[in-house]
Amino acid sequence: MNAALANPIAPAAPDTLRLAKRFFWKELRMQSGLAVGTAVSTLLVMLIYRASSPISGRPDAMAVLALGAAALFCVAAAVTLFSVEREEGTMLYLQSLPENRWATLLGKLTSAIVLTPLLFGVLLAVGAVVAGGVGPSERTWLVLGTTGVVVLLELLVWSLLASLLVPKPLLAACLGIAGASFCSFATIAATGGNVDLFELGDSQALPARLVVALLIGALDVWLGLNWLPRGEQHVTIKTTNRAKEKPAARANVGWLGSFGRLAWQTHRQSWKSAFAATVIGGCLTLAWPLVLGMAMGMDNLVRETPRPAILLGALFVPALMGALVFREDQRRRQHRFLAEHAAPPRRVWLARQVVGLGYLTLMYCGIAITLFAAAAIYWRRNVFGTWIDLDQQDHAGWTSGFLEQVALTQQYDTTVAVLVGVAAAAFAAYAVGQFFSLTLRSEIFAGLLAFGAAWLLAGWAMLVFYWMLSPLWAVAPFGLAALLATWLRAPAWLFERGGVKPWLLPAVVLTAPLAFVMLAVPAARDAQLAPRYQTHNLPNGEAAIAAMAANARAERSRGREVADGYTLLKSGGTMDSDALQEFIRLSKIDCRLPPSPLKKTGRTEPLDELIQQALRLSEPGRRLEVLLACRRANVQRLRGRPGYAISWDPPRVGYRPGNRCLGSDRRANQSRDPRGARPAPYDRLAGKRPDRCDDERLP
């Protein structure tokens, strides 16, 4: 009896298939919510694309969206299999179960392998329905069945590898995507295939990619079998003999003292995650244009790639850092410790935001200083250095170089607008990411939603830039609303108060900027146009028409004076100061844009001095050519010519009543061309521009 009690018989472990089935259903329940959320988000994107795209390209685009959603779900599902077990502390529970490593591994892997193609098939069917009952083309089916399957397999095995090695799920997901992308492109380049992923020319690289994926999968199986430590494990708690603080000292800690402790705790907990997010996000930011160029061809990158796709690379880091703001508090519900010790919720919120925004600000300040230093060196060597030696050059061949210099010096406004727009979009991406971090316990789902919101913000920021609106009121309010919503939600989150009431005020705050933008943008766009004159049923309608006609005659008179000045220059004479100032005034295209802090009107004096200097230095017989060159440079600067601008195309001013391009310019151009022929249209590939402005209406 005593011997039997001393050596009890251990309960028989269930067989491998039975235990694997239990693990399969357990993982299926955990990942079902992620699958449903991915499907709903993809359906919304499909509906938006259907409303804003031509009918001809919808079926293939829906298939590509389904593949992208399945790829994201594959990464998230693979990461949650092992990293989340370590993150949530359930790894110790798995160690207490009867040891059957094959059953654990088979149950986990089977759930991801089954759910990914199932979700892919469902989204393909939904995409066909959204596209009007039409499926993708035969070529797209072939690409999905070959390249698409290999892409999903690569993402699965690399995400599993990152999940087995990295205990933090979101960082493991980023590493899995980076590893799969690098390996696929390296394999394609090594086999001499086409780097275009969506072309059939890279089919010769598919066998090599499949072999590499199978090798990584074998490594995953070996690591998965050795993931749980073998033998009996003892959990030890590390303690220290610290002297107890006096109650009086603990009670005298004021607001700054408690805030400083919370901020220091946040820094100690999150600096490694922030550093990793910065490194990974920076690599993704630098690699994003390269990936787009390899997928679309470097020659087609600027011409055919959607601008939001390029801007999205700059929002990877803020979205990722925002999704990690409340990660340590959500992990194992550690915020309960703060609630049990009566920590002020909004003070906790402020400490988390100060540290997170501080990291982001330091990173962007470093990037901005580097860019401005590089730009200053470039301008000093290539622009200002040439101005110093301007009077020592041969004036017969410096017209084109002078054009480029004048255009480069006038890019200040556009550069400032781009930088402010990117900063506003980055701030909004961070704010939306921290909102998802506070709302969702799963950092994987929070990160995916943050990346999706970053895509939408990138598209909206580009629209704001093209429409010449200020991002300070058109983009930044979305970030402010997200921050205010989490500030209002902080007490209910910390003390775990459920129900609908704690969400009412945050919901109102989140919808307020959307309503504001929907009302303000049409009004701002309408203000950019000239006022509409409605003279019917007005008592002074005829007088208004007469006044408008008088203004038009005055404009034509001034235009004739400038044309007479052109004639004087052609004959070798000089233009008086009044005519020169009128020429400079007419060189500016008028558009009633609303006042904005981004609009710098004080940049015209250097242009006036350059024009006068150019007339003094030029030969008498070439003054008309030099003056017309300055005129074209100024028009190209105001029109935002890509040939003289940065890589983004600034917004081009359309045919509006407020724009003027007088007939004197046409007559001057015709005087240069006796035949009166129109210049050739703009050739984008050759980078040539016509010697005329686009709007040639007579006043």
Evaluate if residue 78 carries a pLDDT over 80.
Answer: yes
Which residues contact residue 662 at a Cβ distance below 8 angstroms, ignoring those fewer than 6 apart? 555, 556, 559, 562, 586, 698, 699
Are 608 and 584 in contact by the 8 Å Cβ rule? The answer is yes
Q: Give the whole-angstrom CA distance, residue 471 versus residue 464.
A: 7
Distances (CA, A) of 106 to 157, 230, 394, 528, 566: 14, 18, 78, 63, 85
Q: Give the whole-angstrom CA distance, residue 310 versus residue 402.
A: 31
Evaluate if residue 259 carries a pLDDT over 90.
Answer: no
Span of 48-62, 159-173, 194-208, 589-603 with lowest mean pLDDT? 589-603
Q: Give the whole-angstrom CA distance, residue 6 versus residue 135.
A: 69
Q: Give the whole-angstrom CA distance, residue 418 versus residue 421.
A: 5
Span of 45-54, 272-281, 594-603 with lowest mean pLDDT? 594-603
Are 179 and 284 in contact by the 8 Å Cβ rule? The answer is no
Retrieve residue 375's tokens: 């730009």
Retrieve residue 187's tokens: 């394999």
In this structure, the number of other CB atoms found within 10 A of the CB of residue 477 comes to 19
The reported pLDDT for the residue numbered 58 is 72
| Local structure of 244: helix, strand or coil | coil
For the CA atoms of 124, 126, 132, 138, what is the dihedral angle to 10 degrees? 10
Distances (CA, A) of 565 to 251, 552, 569, 609, 666: 84, 20, 6, 19, 14
Are 121 and 39 in contact by the 8 Å Cβ rule? The answer is no
Given CA atoms 421, 424, 427, 431 in this order, what sign does their dihedral have? negative
Q: Whose structure tokens read 């704690």?
A: 502
Confidence category of residue 430, pLDDT binned at 50, 70, 90:
very high
Residue 136 has what DSSP assignment?
P
Retrieve residue 8's tokens: 């009890």
Q: Give the whole-angstrom CA distance, residue 620 versus residue 117.
A: 76
The reported pLDDT for the residue numbered 302 is 44
Name the residue among 107, 114, 125 with its Cα closest to residue 156. 114
Highest mean pLDDT (candidates 218-222, 547-551, 682-686)? 218-222
Name the residue among 486, 514, 489 with its Cα closest to residue 500. 489
The reported pLDDT for the residue numbered 603 is 39
Amino acid at 517: V
Retrieve residue 170's tokens: 């979101």
Evaluate if residue 224 carries a pLDDT over 70.
Answer: yes
Evaluate if residue 390 carries a pLDDT over 60.
Answer: no
Q: Give the whole-angstrom CA distance, residue 184 versus residue 186.
A: 5
Q: Give the whole-angstrom CA distance, residue 640 versus residue 652.
A: 6
Are 161 and 176 in contact by the 8 Å Cβ rule? The answer is yes
Q: Give the whole-angstrom CA distance, residue 384 versus residue 405.
A: 9
Distances (CA, A) of 162 to 31, 34, 158, 185: 18, 19, 6, 19
The reported pLDDT for the residue numbered 436 is 92
Task: Please report, rounded to a whole number, the percentage of residues in the chain having pLDDT higher than 90.
Answer: 5
- Helix ranges (DSSP H) in 440-500: 443-466, 471-474, 476-494
Long-range CB contact pairs, 560-565, < 8 A, 24+ = 560/664, 562/586, 562/662, 562/664, 563/664, 563/667, 563/668
Q: Give the whole-angstrom CA distance, residue 502 versus residue 227.
A: 42
Which residues contact residue 188 at a Cβ distance below 8 angstroms, ignoring those fewer than 6 apart? 194, 195, 202, 205, 209
Q: Looking at per-residue confidence, does 523 or 299 come out higher?
A: 523
The reported pLDDT for the residue numbered 657 is 38
Q: Give the whole-angstrom CA distance, residue 604 versus residue 584.
A: 9
Q: Give the whole-angstrom CA distance, residue 557 versus residue 579.
A: 12
Q: Give the whole-angstrom CA distance, residue 353 versus residue 356.
A: 5
Helices 443-466 and 316-323: crossing angle, nearest 10°?
Answer: 140
User: Residue 148: phi, psi to the nearest 5?
Assistant: -60, -45
Are 164 and 81 in contact by the 8 Å Cβ rule? The answer is no
Span of 51-65, 474-488, 528-542, 594-608 with lowest mean pLDDT? 594-608
Name the residue among 648, 689, 643 with its Cα closest to residue 301. 648
Q: What is the Cβ-side half-sphere exposure of residue 48, based on CA atoms within 13 angstroms?
A: 9
The reported pLDDT for the residue numbered 568 is 64
Q: What is the Cβ-side half-sphere exposure of residue 568, based on CA atoms within 13 angstroms?
A: 12
Given CA atoms 184, 190, 194, 196 in this order, what sign does their dihedral have? positive
Confidence category of residue 291, pLDDT binned at 50, 70, 90:
low
Q: Looking at per-residue confidence, does 480 or 108 come out higher?
A: 480
- The string of pLDDT tens digits covering residues 21-45 is 887 888 888 888 888 888 888 888 8
| Local structure of 640: helix, strand or coil | coil
Span of 210-214, 339-343, 351-355 with lowest mean pLDDT? 339-343
Q: Give the whole-angstrom CA distance, residue 443 versus residue 270.
A: 14
